[in-house]
Structures are given as C-alpha cells and as structure tokens.
Amino acid sequence: MFDDFMVRAALAGLGVAFAAAPLGCFVIWRRMAYFGDATAHAAILGVALSLLLSTSLFVGVLLVSLLMATLVSLLNGRGYAMDTLLGVMAHSALAFGLVAVSFSSGVRIDLTAYLFGDILAVGKDDLALIGTGALLVTSLVGWRWSALLTATLDADLARASGIDPRREQWVLTLSLAIVVAVALKVVGALLITALLIIPAAAARPFCRTPEAMALLTALIGAASTTGGLQTAYWLDTPTGPTIVSLAAILFALSGLAGLFKRRIVGATSSAGVHP
C-alpha cells in the first residue's frame, strides 16, 4: 500500500490536517495568526542551516522555529507592537534563509518544494516522521487541553486555578514548531499558516463548544488535503496551493452558509415578535 505515492501523499496530508486542527483553533482564539506565519517563515532558515551543516532537516527546522518563537516571546512588550515585531522577524528570517541557501552551492535544492510543498514526493521515512509528529502534537495538546482553554479564556482565572499561562504558551509554541517542521514537506513554508487558519475559521460559525470546533476543523482540513490532492491530480496543478485553494473555497461556502443561517434565524425571530 505504501508503495503508491498517492496513498503516501494522502496519509501525509491527513496527518498534517489532524495535527494542525487543534492548534488552528487556538491560533484563531488567541489571534496568533501572524505568530504562526513568523514561525513558518523561519522554516526556510532552518532548511538552509541544515543543508550547510549537513544535519537533519526536521531538527534544523524545529530548532529555528523554536528559536523564532522564543525571540518573539522575549521581545514582546519591550517597546515594539506585536504586529510590527512579527512582521520584521518573519520577513527577516525568510530573507536570511534565502540568502543562506545561496551558499549551498554544492547541494542541489529545489527551493520551490520548501516554499510551496511537494506532497507527492513524500517517502516512507517522511511519512513516518509526519505520523510521529502528528501523534506527538495531538497527544500534547490533548493532555493540556483544559489548561490551554483556561489560559486562553482568562489569564487571571488560569493563575487562580494554579495554571501558569506562560507554560501553556510554551506548549502551544512547541506544538506549532513541530507542526511547521512536519508540514513543510506537504504544503511548504508559505502555505503552512493557511492550513492552520482556514479550516479553523471555516469551522468556527457552526460550533458551540471548543471540542466540536476542533473536530470539525480536523474534518475540514482532511477534506481540503485529500480533495486538493485529487483535484491537483485531475487538473495537473501545484498540489500545495491547490490544497489551500480548496480550503479557501470551503471557508467561503461556510461563510455563505453562516450568513444564510443568521438570516433564517433573524426572520424566524421577527415572525415570532410580529405575528
């Protein structure tokens, strides 16, 4: 079964979708979209350093992503607005990464694959790495789920309950760095944030509990990856961008459905008030 490249690609996409789902919810709830973007951009610098030092790409991307998140956390509130700080660091990391890649003259590298993903080239070792990373992230977030929700809802309430909000922030940071490292092969550095945000944003209007939103986000992410993979095969289009494009279409449809639902509820309420 694993000898079929389409099967490997589908399993890799599902692994990333399920790992990204709960994190995407917290990114939406905490308004951390640009934080995720900065971490994803840093992945290119991790790739470049890994090639220059002849080390594992996964380890290099993971370490640089964690370093980026740490620097942002340390510099936050020290005279810079968060959006400014993240904008500077995100594009600086990407630029330094692209410059560093140019020094890898002895190594042949397809930079497009790292920027936009190359899910069709996922091998058995890549699939094992993605599966391990996805299992680690879902286990970590599931273990800290209640504490993460409390810290997201109210930091003071979390402290009163014996929960350290900064510790929970580090749990999210570590989980996000792992997802970036494993998703780089699937959708690439420039599209990772889209896969984190769009399915969660599409699920939000239809859910009343955090658990329901995380589950629906996983289903939308899975539909986006498998459907995008099949669509790219039919239309002969780039796979990573096609996956994100399908997720965007699902988001637009969910927005229209949410608007239609609100109008029906509004019309029903008006009819009840004015018979």
- Give the homologous superfamily in CATH for domain 5-192: ABC transporter involved in vitamin B12 uptake, BtuC (1.10.3470.10)
The whole-chain average pLDDT of the chain stands at: 82
Query: For the residues 15-42, what does the mean pLDDT come to?
Result: 84
pLDDT of residue 273: 47
pLDDT of residue 274: 47
What would the pLDDT profile of 138-174 be if each residue is shown by its tens digit?
999 999 999 999 988 888 888 888 888 888 888 888 8
Pick the most confident of 2-11, 48-57, 62-71, 165-174: 165-174
Query: For the residues 241-256, what does the mean pLDDT come to?
Result: 91
pLDDT of residue 5: 78
Structure tokens at 166: 């900064």
pLDDT of residue 188: 81
pLDDT of residue 102: 74
Pick the most confident of 8-12, 40-44, 96-100, 186-190: 8-12
Instruction: Specify the pTM.
Output: 0.83
d(CA 256, CA 174): 35
Of 93 and 243, the one with more pLDDT: 243
pLDDT at residue 275 tops 50:
no
Categorize the per-residue pLDDT at 187 as very low, low, confident or very high, splitting at 50, 70 and 90: confident
